[in-house]
Chain A
Amino acid sequence: MAFNKLRNNVSQVNRGTAIGVCADLFMSHLKDFIREIRACKTAAEEREVVARESADIRTSFKDMKCKTRDRNMAKLLFIHLLGYPAYFGQVETVNLIASSKFHEKRLGYLALMVLLDEQQDLLMLLPNTMKTDMASPSNFMTALALVALGNIGNSEMIRDLSSELEKCFRHSHAYIRKKATLCAVRAIRKDPDVADQYAPKSPQYDQLVPTAVRALKSLLLSNYSSQHDVAGITDPFLQIKLLQVMRVLGRGNKAASDLMNDVLAQVATNTDHRKNAGTAVLYECVQTVLSIEAEPVRMCADICVCCVFVCRKEGGVFVCYRKNAGTAVLYECVQTVLSIEAEPALRVLAVNILMRFLARNDNNTRYVALNLLSKVVTLDKPTVQRHKKIIVDCLNDPDISIRRRALELTYALVDATNCRHLVTEMVDYLGRADAEFKTDLTRKICIACEKYAPSKKWQLDTIIKVLSTAGSYVRDDIPSALVLLISQTPTLHLYAAQRLYAALYQATHARVAAVAGAAAPAVSGGKQEEQQPPEETLTQVAIWALGEYGDLLPTEPFELNPHAEGEPQVAVGPAELVGLLEQIIRLPLTTAPTRAYALTALTKLSGRFTDAPVLARITDLIAAYRTDITVELQQRACEYGAVLGASAGVLRQALVKRMPVPDLTCPLTRNTEEDENSFIEQFSEQFSE
């Protein structure tokens, strides 16, 4: 809108730049300089121009009588904006500030804020000049000094200037008083010891409640001198801040909450939600209502009316920016309702508003709604639960901000009743999730399974699926959780062996095909070898499980692919099992640790099977690794060879027995207690803000 004339202007300027190019004999004007920079075709050319100009500026700064100091400083600021060094102008800023001319002083203060920061020693030179400026009869001189103090003042400066600052508090103009107040905020932030000077000692926060209520009421009722309105809403910024203050004051405080009831209801009914400023206020209001101990019924009705109205009328209003203030208010309103100690019915309503927000097309509103829902969910899970479909849909949103929120929310919603549905959604999402989410997501899925899984069998299936979709993203604790789950559940031994055999079978065949494909045209496998193949984790767990429970497999035929209909069931005998392990060992992409797992599994199986050909094959396979280049494999092969040898005898049976069931708790849930607490703390912190 505002920038539409831009394109025309750019071309005009480009045409007019040739004039400025040869002006280097004299200090050119700022405009010429900028044009010259813009006319540069290459970065090298630009660097040259900047270097030349910087040199000129540096020389001119040495000459105290130079008439164009302010102009040079303006050029230096532009050079700084382009990202070139401009530190040599720092001393000059102090000179400019000391100037008696307003335009030099103004630019000096600006350059001070841009070029220096609070940690430079140079700032020690300033307090005297600033003292004079702050006491100046001209409001604007005072304002310049105050702005500089508020933006880059360090604690020493603030201490030096404290008496002047106090005088500014009593200034006749609100313009100065406001700036002085914000300087005091910075003063307290930089140096908490000075707080006593600017703020009352041990303030009675309860006394602030009536003041806040009165202030908000007057904002609502008076037909204001429309001095501060934004899109027809009287000072939404102040309203938002007041509502935020009420939230802090009203939490857990019945008396204070009672005082706020009326005015909150007024905000909820009177604010024009069709404007963004209005929605912003309403949002704060709902938030406040939710967090204080509001009088339930009336508030409930009022907000209900208002919100239903909002939702019905609004439609696409949020897209139009001018109306944004309305949403913002509504948003804060919901936040307040959430953080105060409100009736459950009211919360349900607040959640319903949020759900309507969520169903909108406008992403800002949806983001905001998800943000709030993640707070609600800790307080009132069942209400949010009812809307889980919409939330899960948001996982597919193209906007990463929304996906992130939706994911957190989905995880927070999981419980025993809906685990099957939500976790399946999360596993589905895992396949398409952004890489940065995956590690966290796999962990969350497994924790959710551990806590709420309807059956161990289902949990096993889910974790296997997670490993096969995002194997390279999982952390170590997930495979160990799976191993623990299998070994601690005797009824699952056969099933686990079957499923993992199937998974391993498919993964291996896919790899064999890939290797065959890659080997034919050229040796292009180099890239693949560098990174761990994704199914590595799954392969290792599967090999372990087959080593432990592989002997159960021949007892029952099963389907290799349970998802494909009409797949014939296969019976896996000792020969097939050892064949598969052999295939894995021989694959060129298999890593040394996986081979070691496979060798161990073969040794274990040797004690369970009795067929002579199978045993001979196992012995041959292990013997082949006695001369392997990897020390670990070589050592294992030699040792296992000795175990298999005739001399081991009885000892062998004891060595290859099944692992005893470890008496451990799941590594995932061991830390979750802490996680959960920090989760809640995090939310309550957000509330208190």
Chain B
Amino acid sequence: MILACLIINNRGKPRLNKFYERYPIDTQKKLIREVYQAISKRPPSACNFLENAYGFWGKGNGVKIVYRTYATLCFIMVVDSAESELGIMDLIQSFVECLDHQFENVCELDLIFHSDKVHFILDEMILGGLVIEARYQNILPSLEAQDKMDRASR
């Protein structure tokens, strides 16, 4: 199961945080900080997986951080041991491709000014911590249709 999906920029500012398990707000902040600290120290050549993430996700219950950096943004998935690490890498790639199609050559500013849309895309891909759809060709039409309804109702 996916426990959280985060996007953090290279200065440690969160651009998206989505938790699929219940954590109080203070814990969420702490988790984000810890994940960022753990990842920002790693050189680009290091592998994209980090085990036994510090702190609240608990030691020893097989929690892994799978992350991937694109320019200034780091996409992070915190998963439990039931997920295949490499599969999650694919999921991050799919997510980024999806964002790229939605915003046409996506950049950090798109995520800042349209954080609601980023959430909508993520909700189409992951539901309750499980992957529901991973291909942008299937996600974008339904998003498009919802945006149309959105505009019509204004």
- Residues of A at the B interface (CB closer than 8 Å) are 1-6, 9-10, 13, 30-31, 34, 38, 74, 77-78, 81, 83, 85, 101-104, 106-107, 110, 113-114, 117-119, 138, 140, 143, 146-147, 150-151, 175, 178-179, 182-183, 185-186, 227-230, 236-237, 240, 244, 276-277, 279-280, 283-284, 321-322, 324-325, 327-329, 331-332, 362-364, 366-368, 398-402, 404, 686, 689
Q: With a CB–CB cut-off of 8 A, which chain A residues contact B106? A: 2-3
Taken together as a complex, chains A and B put the C-alpha atoms of A209 and B6 apart, in Å, by: 37
Q: With a CB–CB cut-off of 8 A, which chain B residues contact A77? A: 115-116
Per-residue CB proximity of B143-154 to A under 8 Å, as 1/0?
A: 001100111111
Contact A110 B120 (CB under 8 A): yes
Taken together as a complex, chains A and B put the C-alpha atoms of A352 and B153 apart, in Å, by: 61
Which B115-141 residues have a C-beta within 8 angstroms of A?
115-116, 119-120, 123, 127-128, 130-135, 137-138
Q: With a CB–CB cut-off of 8 A, which chain B residues contact A284? A: 84
Contact A3 B107 (CB under 8 A): yes
Contact B109 A1 (CB under 8 A): no
Per-residue CB proximity of B78-100 to A under 8 Å, as 1/0?
A: 00011011110111011010011
Sample of 5 A–B contacts (CB below 8 Å):
A102-B146, A186-B128, A400-B46, A404-B52, A686-B62
Taken together as a complex, chains A and B put the C-alpha atoms of A26 and B95 apart, in Å, by: 37
**Shortest beta-carbon distance from A32 to chain B in Å:** 11
Contact A151 B22 (CB under 8 A): no
Q: How many A-B residue pairs have CB under 8 A?
A: 206
* Interface size classification for chain B: 35 or more
Q: With a CB–CB cut-off of 8 A, which chain B residues contact A10? A: 108-109
Contact B150 A106 (CB under 8 A): yes
Taken together as a complex, chains A and B put the C-alpha atoms of A115 and B60 apart, in Å, by: 30
Contact B47 A102 (CB under 8 A): no
Contact A2 B105 (CB under 8 A): yes
Q: With a CB–CB cut-off of 8 A, which chain A residues contact B47? A: 362-364, 366-367, 399, 401-402
- A6 in contact with B71 given A147-B123, A331-B86 (CB within 8 Å): yes
Taken together as a complex, chains A and B put the C-alpha atoms of A279 and B138 apart, in Å, by: 24
Contact B107 A185 (CB under 8 A): no
**Shortest beta-carbon distance from B45 to chain A in Å:** 6
Q: Lowest 10 A-B CB distances belong to which pairs?
A: A328-B86, A3-B71, A363-B47, A150-B128, A399-B46, A102-B153, A6-B107, A367-B47, A101-B153, A103-B150
Taken together as a complex, chains A and B put the C-alpha atoms of A85 and B94 apart, in Å, by: 32
A2, A5, A147, A404 interface centre (most CB from chain B within 10 Å):
A2
Q: With a CB–CB cut-off of 8 A, which chain B residues contact A113? A: 119, 123
Taken together as a complex, chains A and B put the C-alpha atoms of A363 and B22 apart, in Å, by: 33
**Shortest beta-carbon distance from B153 to chain A in Å:** 4
